[in-house]
Structure 1
Amino acid sequence: MLHWLTQLRLAQKFTLLGLLTLAMVAFPSALYLKQTITDVRQAHRQAEGVPVLMALNMVIQHTQVHRGLSAGVLSGNEGMQQRRVTAKEAVNQALGNAAAILVQNNAPVQEQQRLQKWQTTWQALEQAVAANKVEVADSFARHTDLIAELMMINEELLVAYRLQSNEDPANVALLQAALVQAPQLTEGVGQMQAMGTGFLTQAFLSVDDRGAFRALISQTTTFQKQVGRFIQRAMTLNPAYQQELGGLVKTATELLNESNHLARTEVLEIDLLQYPASDYFNKLTQTIDAINAVRISGADRLAQVLDANADKQRNVLIRCAANPAVQGRVKSADGKAVLVDWIGFNAASAAVRCTGE
Structure 2
Amino acid sequence: MREAGKTLDAALGEQAGLQPTATILKVIQLTQQHRGLSALVLGGVEGVKDKREAKQKEVDEAYEKFDALVKDFNNKAIDDAWATPKREWQDLRNRISSGAITVPESYTAHTALIPKLLVVNDLTSDLFGLSLDPDVDTYQLIQSMYYQLPYLTEETGKMRAKGAGLLAKHEATLEDRQVLAAIIGRVNDRLTQTHTALNKAFVANPALRDKLEAQWQSAYDLTNKVMQLANTHIVRPETLEFPGTEYVAQTTAAIDAQFAVNQAASRQLEIMLNDKVSDLRKTRWIMIGAMAGLIALAGLLARLIARSVSMPLQQAVHISERIAQGDLTAQIDTGGSSETAQLMRALKAMNDSLVSIVSSVRGSINAIGEASNDISTGNADLSSRTEAQASNLEETAASMEQITATVRNSAEHAREADQLVGSATSVAARGGQVVAQVVDTMGAINDSSRRIVDIISVIDGIAFQTNILALNAAVEAARAGEQGRGFAVVASEVRSLAQRSASAAKEIKELITDSVQKVEAGNALASEAGKAMHDVVASVERITGIMAGIMMAAQEQSTGIEQVNQAISQIDEMTQQNAALVEQAAAASESLQQQAATLQDAVAVFTLHERDAGYSYQSPAQLTPRKLSLVSINGIA
Counterpart for residue 67 of structure 1: 35
* Matches of 1:154 and 1:121, distance apart in 2: 17
**Any conservation in 1 of the 2:122–2:146 contact (CA below 8 Å)?**
no
Gaps of 5+ in 2: 303-637
**Any conservation in 2 of the 1:174–1:298 contact (CA below 8 Å)?**
yes
Counterpart for residue 354 of structure 1: none
1:79 aligns with 2:50: no
- Give the one of 201, 206, 222 matched to 1:255: 222
* Matches of 2:75 and 2:281, distance apart in 1: 23
Report how far residue 274 of structure 1 moved.
Answer: 0.4
**Any conservation in 2 of the 1:59–1:91 contact (CA below 8 Å)?**
yes
> How many residues get paired?
300
* Matches of 1:206 and 1:221, distance apart in 2: 23
- Give the one of 78, 100, 108 matched to 1:133: 100
Report how far residue 163 of structure 1 moved.
Answer: 1.4
- Give the one of 183, 194, 197 matched to 1:227: 194
**Equivalent AA in structure 1 for residue 169 of structure 2:** Q
1:294 aligns with 2:261: yes
**Any conservation in 2 of the 1:65–1:190 contact (CA below 8 Å)?**
yes
1:160 aligns with 2:131: no
Counterpart for residue 307 of structure 1: 274
Residues 129-278 of structure 1 mapped to structure 2, 5 A cutoff: 129-278=96-245
Please list the CA deviations of residues 20-47 of structure 1 after superposition, one character each: whole Å capped at 9, or x if unmatched.
Answer: xxxxxxxxxxxxx332332222121111
* Matches of 1:149 and 1:175, distance apart in 2: 20
Q: 1:345 to 1:197 in 2, by over 3 A?
A: farther
**Any conservation in 2 of the 1:107–1:160 contact (CA below 8 Å)?**
no
**Equivalent AA in structure 2 for residue 85 of structure 1:** E
**Equivalent AA in structure 1 for residue 9 of structure 2:** R
**Any conservation in 1 of the 2:226–2:251 contact (CA below 8 Å)?**
yes
* Matches of 2:253 and 2:130, distance apart in 1: 29
* Matches of 1:310 and 1:324, distance apart in 2: 19
Q: Give the alignment's TM-score, normalised by structure 1.
A: 0.78
Residues 56-135 of structure 1 mapped to structure 2, 5 A cutoff: 56-103=24-71, 106=73, 108-135=75-102
* DSSP 3-state at the match of 1:76: coil
Please list the CA deviations of residues 57-85 of structure 1 after superposition, one character each: whole Å capped at 9, or x if unmatched.
Answer: 00000000000111111111232211110
**Any conservation in 2 of the 1:107–1:157 contact (CA below 8 Å)?**
no
Please list the CA deviations of residues 300-325 of structure 1 after superposition, one character each: whole Å capped at 9, or x if unmatched.
Answer: 1112212332333344445555x486
* Matches of 1:65 and 1:344, distance apart in 2: 65
**Equivalent AA in structure 2 for residue 127 of structure 1:** N
* Matches of 1:35 and 1:174, distance apart in 2: 24
* DSSP 3-state at the match of 1:79: coil
Farther-moved stretch of structure 1 (133-142 vs 162-171): 162-171
**Any conservation in 2 of the 1:49–1:161 contact (CA below 8 Å)?**
yes
Q: Kindly indicate which of the two structures has a greater share of residues assigned to helix.
A: 2
1:51 aligns with 2:19: yes
Using the aligned pairs only, state the percent identity. 25
**Any conservation in 2 of the 1:55–1:101 contact (CA below 8 Å)?**
no
Please list the CA deviations of residues 117-164 of structure 1 after superposition, one character each: whole Å capped at 9, or x if unmatched.
Answer: 422220110010111111211111111111111101111222222212
* Matches of 2:107 and 2:234, distance apart in 1: 18
* Matches of 1:256 and 1:35, distance apart in 2: 43
Please list the CA deviations of residues 270-318 of structure 1 after superposition, one character each: whole Å capped at 9, or x if unmatched.
Answer: 0010001000000000000011111111111112212332333344445
* Matches of 1:144 and 1:175, distance apart in 2: 24
Farther-moved stretch of structure 1 (268-277 vs 155-164): 155-164
**Any conservation in 2 of the 1:203–1:274 contact (CA below 8 Å)?**
yes
Q: 1:167 to 1:127 in 2, by over 3 A?
A: same
- Of structures 1 and 2, the one scoring higher in RCO (CA 8 A, sep 6+) is 1
* DSSP 3-state at the match of 2:48: helix
Determine which structure has more spread, i.e. the larger CA radius of gyration.
2
* Matches of 1:167 and 1:324, distance apart in 2: 25
* Matches of 1:169 and 1:319, distance apart in 2: 25
Q: 1:102 to 1:314 in 2, by over 3 A?
A: farther
**Equivalent AA in structure 1 for residue 153 of structure 2:** T
Counterpart for residue 284 of structure 1: 251
* Matches of 1:185 and 1:307, distance apart in 2: 28
**Equivalent AA in structure 1 for residue 29 of structure 2:** Q
Q: Give the alignment's TM-score, normalised by structure 2.
A: 0.45
**Equivalent AA in structure 1 for residue 47 of structure 2:** G
